[in-house]
Structure 1
Amino acid sequence: MITDHRIHFSDAGQMRALDSESVHLVVTSPPYPMIEMWDNLFRQESAIDKAMRRPHGAQAFELMHCQLDRVWNELWRVLVPGGIACINIGDATRTLDDEFALYSNHSRILTHMLSLGFINLPNILWRKQTNAPNKFMGSGMMPPGAYVTLEHEYILIFRKGGKRIFKTAEEKTNRRQSAFFWEERNNWFSDVWMDLKGTRQKTGDKQLRARSGAYPFELAYRLISMFSVINDTVLDPFLGTGTTLTAAMVTGRNSVGYEIDKAFQPLIAEGGLAAAPLGQQRINERLEAHRQFVEDRQASGKAIKYTNQTYGFPVITRQETELMFLRPVTVKEMKKKHFQMAYAMPQVSSTDPPPSALTETGHTPKTGQMSLFG
């Protein structure tokens, strides 16, 4: 199988290259209004710059979100019926004209998405780990001027209309092959994520690093695995360093990314070049984790009723019996800002006894990677 990945360095408020109802999943994190690191980006709009100079925080906040609304409007157009949009966003605290206030980015985005017709599904709180020795805001230990410290972000989850329909036998088979493990479902579908660390911005460019707010690879990988099937198309309208694109390549999905800053181009290429070995590593980790889960469960005397048809190992539910992982093998540049990933089908001997045969047999292919942008 081969997946297709395209990058557009243009404004996501007008995604002309995308047909209506051509995207199955959106995974993205926009610039956060009222967070200083993105001030210069928003203040290119003269009305926003004027509001910040006054300063008039509430007006600037609303004008910044009006810029993001243009992108959310496009999401409604390009998503298929039943398609999912996952938006990672944090609230902001800011002192303007000696007045400290919270700016609720998540609620402003949620309100606009609902006005478009999206259905809000249960959201996720991403509690970001921090090693900060001093987390106080405000007047320390003196009431009432001490403030609660923000230590979480939101992953807002929306669906366009009702549940997505899988009609043909081929579509239904593909969905079953895209399943995840029962124990993964119990972890991934919790409404609080505490096991994901933030990502250090390794851009090498201080100015570029100041404009990057990349989330960890595992966040995108998990959301893509949760809310799409193999060969779907995943969109990130704020691509940045390209984490969503890399995760789509690893999981056997197609992807499209929009980014207005061409300075991110080398970082996007770097992520794409690393996708094959990263994908192979992530598959092995999931198989090993399942092996350990099976051993622990059987050691406790609990029976496991079903067997996966592809790998021959025990699984908890019937829905896992056709689960399989496509191994990313090679990435090839087709032309500038367009590349493809090729995959190998799982190769496991049917004679391997369960549950020991939980890593795929065969050699690890060479990645055969080339520069994605020249």
Structure 2
Amino acid sequence: MQTEQQVVFADAARMSGISSRSVHLAVTSPPYPMIEMWDAVFCCRNETKKALRHEKGMQAFESMHRDLDRVWKELDRVLVPGGIACINIGDATRTLDGEFALYPNHSRILSAMLALGFTNLPNILWRKQTNAPNKFMGSGMMPPGAYVTLEHEYVLILRKGGKRLFNDPEAKTNRRQSAFFWEERNHWFSDVWMDLKGTRQNTGDKKLRQRSGAYPVELAYRLISMFSVMGDTVLDPFLGTGTTLWAAAAAGRNGIGYEMDSAFAKMIGESCRQAVPQGRHRIAERLDAHLQFVREREENGKPIKYTNQVYGFPVITRQETELLLPLPVSVEESAENRWQVKYDVPMASAEGKPAPIPEKEATPMKAGQLSLFN
């Protein structure tokens, strides 16, 4: 088994290199309109520059989103019927012309996607941990001029058309093998995520780091595991530092990323190479967590009815009996901005001996790099 991870340094509003109806899942976090550090990304449009210069907040907000609308239209073209788009976005607060206001990025993107015909599925609130001692906004303890703090972002989950179909036997088998554990289902599919920390990476360039807007690799890995199957193609039209490709490779999916700033090229390559040690660590961690869950359940006298055919351990449901997690073993740059990742696929022996369960290993990180599976 192998996957390919590819980067295209171009504007995602014109993804001519991707065929229509060829992408199964999009996982992305665009630049956030009305967050000042991303103004330069949007100010290629004269209308946006003029609105900000004259401090016309809603005009600037709408102009910035019209830039993003072009990408969402392309996303609609390249997704397969039943494909899923997961968009991590935060709202913005800003004072312009003496007026403090919230700019609802999530609702503006949601409106644009619904207008394209997408179906909105239940969304996720990512409540980001913060240690800020003075996190309130506005006039402190004085009503009515104090403001509610923004301590969450959204993960919008949208589907193109009806449910994705898996009609032939091979596709059905692959879907069953791509299952997740029952206890993971209970945790991952909550509508509030509080266990993921925000991410900062040491790019060696302060301005570059600010432009990355990286989310934790666990966020991407979790969404990829939830909404795609092994061998699918995952797209990130705002790739940044390469987190989504890293997560796709670790999960046994193909990845395509679009990024306008080629200054990220070195970091993206480093991210893809991390897919082997970090991916192996995350898979071993998942298996170890399941075994701990089994032990605790059995100690409490709760029966477990089924057995996984690959690893030989107990599982709660029939849908988990064919579950397997391919281990990445090598990554090689096959061409400029393309990487091939190869995997060991676990399987029971001909005599029925279960596949070995990998042990958790130390995961080497580069100095200053903080984005781990959290």
Pick the TM interval, shorter chain. over 0.9
The answer to whether residue 348 in structure 2 is matched with residue 338 in structure 1 is: no
The answer to whether residue 358 in structure 2 is matched with residue 360 in structure 1 is: yes
Q: Percent identity?
A: 69
In structure 1, the residue matched to 2:372 is none
In structure 2, the residue matched to 1:321 is 321
In structure 2, the residue matched to 1:160 is 160
Amino acid at match of 2:19: D
Q: Deviations over 1:76-102 (max 9, x none)?
A: 100000000000000000000110000
CA distance in 2, matches of 1:273, 1:4: 12
Kept in 2: contact 1:128–1:194 (CA 8 A): yes
In structure 2, the residue matched to 1:79 is 79
In structure 2, the residue matched to 1:131 is 131
Question: Across the two proteins, how many residue pairs are aligned to each other?
Answer: 359
Gaps of 5+ in 2: 363-374
In structure 1, the residue matched to 2:233 is 233
Kept in 2: contact 1:347–1:360 (CA 8 A): no
CA distance in 2, matches of 1:201, 1:251: 22
In structure 2, the residue matched to 1:264 is 264
Q: Deviations over 1:342-362 (max 9, x none)?
A: 00111566446xxxx97238x
In structure 2, the residue matched to 1:280 is 280
- Displacement of 1:45: 1.6
Per the alignment, in what secondary structure is the counterpart of residue 212 of structure 2?
coil
In structure 2, the residue matched to 1:44 is 44
The answer to whether residue 58 in structure 2 is matched with residue 58 in structure 1 is: yes
Amino acid at match of 1:117: G
In structure 2, the residue matched to 1:310 is 310
Q: Deviations over 1:312-352 (max 9, x none)?
A: 00000000000001000111111101111000111566446
Kept in 1: contact 2:233–2:253 (CA 8 A): yes
CA distance in 2, matches of 1:230, 1:17: 22
CA RMSD of aligned residues (A): 1.4
Q: Deviations over 1:272-313 (max 9, x none)?
A: 111101111001100110010000000000000000000000
Per the alignment, in what secondary structure is the counterpart of residue 133 of structure 2?
coil
The answer to whether residue 108 in structure 2 is matched with residue 108 in structure 1 is: yes
CA distance in 1, matches of 2:3, 2:144: 56
Per the alignment, in what secondary structure is the counterpart of residue 229 of structure 2?
coil
- Displacement of 1:44: 2.2
In structure 1, the residue matched to 2:369 is none
In structure 1, the residue matched to 2:365 is none
Kept in 2: contact 1:313–1:358 (CA 8 A): no
CA distance in 1, matches of 2:44, 2:71: 17
Per the alignment, in what secondary structure is the counterpart of residue 211 of structure 1?
helix
Per the alignment, in what secondary structure is the counterpart of residue 269 of structure 1?
helix
Per the alignment, in what secondary structure is the counterpart of residue 155 of structure 2?
strand
Per the alignment, in what secondary structure is the counterpart of residue 222 of structure 1?
helix
CA distance in 1, matches of 2:348, 2:131: 43
In structure 2, the residue matched to 1:204 is 204
Kept in 2: contact 1:304–1:315 (CA 8 A): yes
Kept in 1: contact 2:309–2:348 (CA 8 A): no
CA distance in 2, matches of 1:136, 1:306: 50
- Displacement of 1:201: 2.7
Kept in 1: contact 2:5–2:256 (CA 8 A): yes
Q: Deviations over 1:179-219 (max 9, x none)?
A: 00000000000000000000123212111012111000000
CA distance in 2, matches of 1:267, 1:151: 28
Amino acid at match of 2:41: L
CA distance in 1, matches of 2:30, 2:73: 14
Amino acid at match of 1:360: P
Kept in 2: contact 1:346–1:360 (CA 8 A): no
In structure 1, the residue matched to 2:143 is 143
In structure 1, the residue matched to 2:89 is 89
CA distance in 2, matches of 1:96, 1:348: 63
CA distance in 1, matches of 2:6, 2:210: 25
CA distance in 1, matches of 2:356, 2:149: 43
CA distance in 1, matches of 2:92, 2:356: 45
CA distance in 2, matches of 1:351, 1:83: 37
Kept in 1: contact 2:92–2:105 (CA 8 A): yes
Kept in 2: contact 1:201–1:213 (CA 8 A): no
CA distance in 1, matches of 2:345, 2:136: 52
CA distance in 1, matches of 2:198, 2:291: 28
Kept in 2: contact 1:288–1:358 (CA 8 A): no
CA distance in 1, matches of 2:99, 2:358: 59
Amino acid at match of 2:40: N
Per the alignment, in what secondary structure is the counterpart of residue 144 of structure 1?
coil
Amino acid at match of 1:359: I
Per the alignment, in what secondary structure is the counterpart of residue 88 of structure 2?
strand
Kept in 1: contact 2:200–2:209 (CA 8 A): no
In structure 1, the residue matched to 2:251 is 251
Kept in 2: contact 1:2–1:343 (CA 8 A): yes
* Alpha-carbon spacing, 1:267–1:104, altered in 2? closer, same or farther (3 Å): same
Kept in 2: contact 1:279–1:327 (CA 8 A): yes
- After TM superposition, the structure 1 stretch with the greater mean CA deviation from structure 2, 312-321 or 332-341, is 332-341
Kept in 2: contact 1:180–1:320 (CA 8 A): yes
- After TM superposition, the structure 1 stretch with the greater mean CA deviation from structure 2, 343-352 or 200-209, is 343-352
Gaps of 5+ in 1: 365-374
Runs of 4+, deviation exceeding 6 Å = none
